[in-house]
Copies of this chain bind each other. A is one copy, B any other.
Amino acid sequence: MVDAASFKGRDIISMREFNREEIDLILSTATDMISLVDKGSDLLRGKILATLFFEPSTRTRLSFESSMHRLGGSVVGFAQPQTSSVAKGETLADTIKTVESYSDVIAMRHPSEDSSIVAAEAASIPVINGGSGSWEHPTQACLDLHTILTAKGTIDGLTIALVGDLLYGRTVHSLAVALRNYDVKAYFVSPDQLKMRDGVIADVKGKLDYEETSDLNSILPELDILYATRVQKERFKDHADYEKVKDAYLINKAFLEGAKPELRVMHPLPRITEIATDVDGTPHALYFGQVKHGIYTRMALIALVLGAL
């Protein structure tokens, strides 16, 4: 049976590990957390989160730290590898075997795809993957689901487009895998050079109703959720190819006139130019509202793996 107790001591490495029942529990726990943000909570008083960020991040690191503080806990950690023993040549496993003596739970971002697996294996305390190379970003997927659920009241039945860099974008990898647990229609919208990573296709095939396309315009009218990501110019060998596709996915107010009024636009942020600021004031814009769901979701995940619920 899936209940809060079943999460105690568990690592959060990949959305591949969670079934629908488990995701439902995470999301309902996240909803329970909302009222604690304003009231404050002592649920995790005396507990320590270690945030090990081997790659720069404002959003994810601060979101984890804030979530821990909202539950009354404390935080230690580092924001960049130069300040750590990694600079002296220590292995990741050794760093983890050290840090586990300083904390009760670890949140880690690392450029290597297998980093969180290595860390979870080395650690005797729970490890939460805060982004592992291009592979996965499972807490982002949880917050994305919670955002959609809160905005729409349901996830089942929606039509959702993941747009942009689907080859290297870890947020869309985790979200696509998560969506295989729902009865949704998914579009994977990208330039041909940045089609959805093979490993994700393999994991969703037969479980998720998806379609790959490079044409956002023609599917726009169907969409309930447009999840935009940054198309990374530096991935393109031919500059002309880049110029051709980037305009296709430049989302602005005029472009969204072809969408349903209920369409909501999401983005893991930071955005650069892929969503114009003239969208910010429209009812379509959900990307800033999305951020606070990171707090609710991470509060839930930290509390769950610490067995505090």
* B90, A270: Cβ atoms closer than 8 Å: yes
**Closest Cβ neighbor of A294 among chain B residues:** B101
A254 adjacent to chain B (CB < 8 Å): no
Residues 81-108 (chain A) with a chain B CB within 8 angstroms: 82-90, 94-95, 97-99, 101-103
Q: Which residue of B lies closest to A272 (CB)?
A: B89
Give Cα A104 to B256, complex, Å: 33
Residues of B within 8 A of A236 (CB): none
Given A62-B50, A291-B101, residue A57 in contact with residue B74 (CB < 8 A):
no
Q: Which residues of B contact A85 (CB under 8 A)?
A: 56-59, 269-270
Tier of interface size on chain A: 35 or more
**Bound Cα distance from A269 to B291, whole angstroms:** 38
Q: Are A94 and B62 touching (Cβ within 8 A)?
A: no
CB-CB nearest in chain B for A68: B74
- In Å, the complex CA distance between A66 and B40 comes to 20
Residues of B contacting A80 with CB < 8 Å?
Answer: 82-83
Chain B residues near A291: list those with CB within 8 A. 97-98, 101-102
Closest to A90 in B: B270
User: Most chain-B Cβ atoms within 10 A of its Cβ — which of A45, A76, A272?
Assistant: A76
- Does A90 contact B48, Cβ atoms closer than 8 Å? no
CB neighbours of A99 from chain B (8 A) = 58, 62
B residues near A132, Cβ cutoff 8 Å: none
- Give the contacting residue for A78; candidates B79, B87, B88; CB below 8 A: B79
| Residues of chain B lying within 8 A (CB to CB) of residue A272 | 88-90
CA distance A272 to B41 in the complex (A): 42
Indicate if A133 sits at the interface (CB-CB under 8 A).
no
- Within A256-291, which residues are at the interface with B (CB < 8 Å)? 269-272, 288, 291
- Among B56, B83, B94, B288, the residue within 8 A (CB) of A98 is B288
User: Considering the complex of A and B, which 4 residue pairs feature the smallest CB-CB distances, nearest first?
Assistant: A40-B46, A90-B270, A69-B74, A66-B102
19 example contacts (A-B, Cβ-Cβ < 8 A) are as follows A56-B83, A56-B85, A57-B83, A58-B83, A58-B99, A66-B76, A66-B102, A80-B82, A85-B270, A88-B272, A90-B269, A94-B269, A94-B270, A97-B291, A98-B269, A98-B291, A101-B288, A101-B291, A102-B291
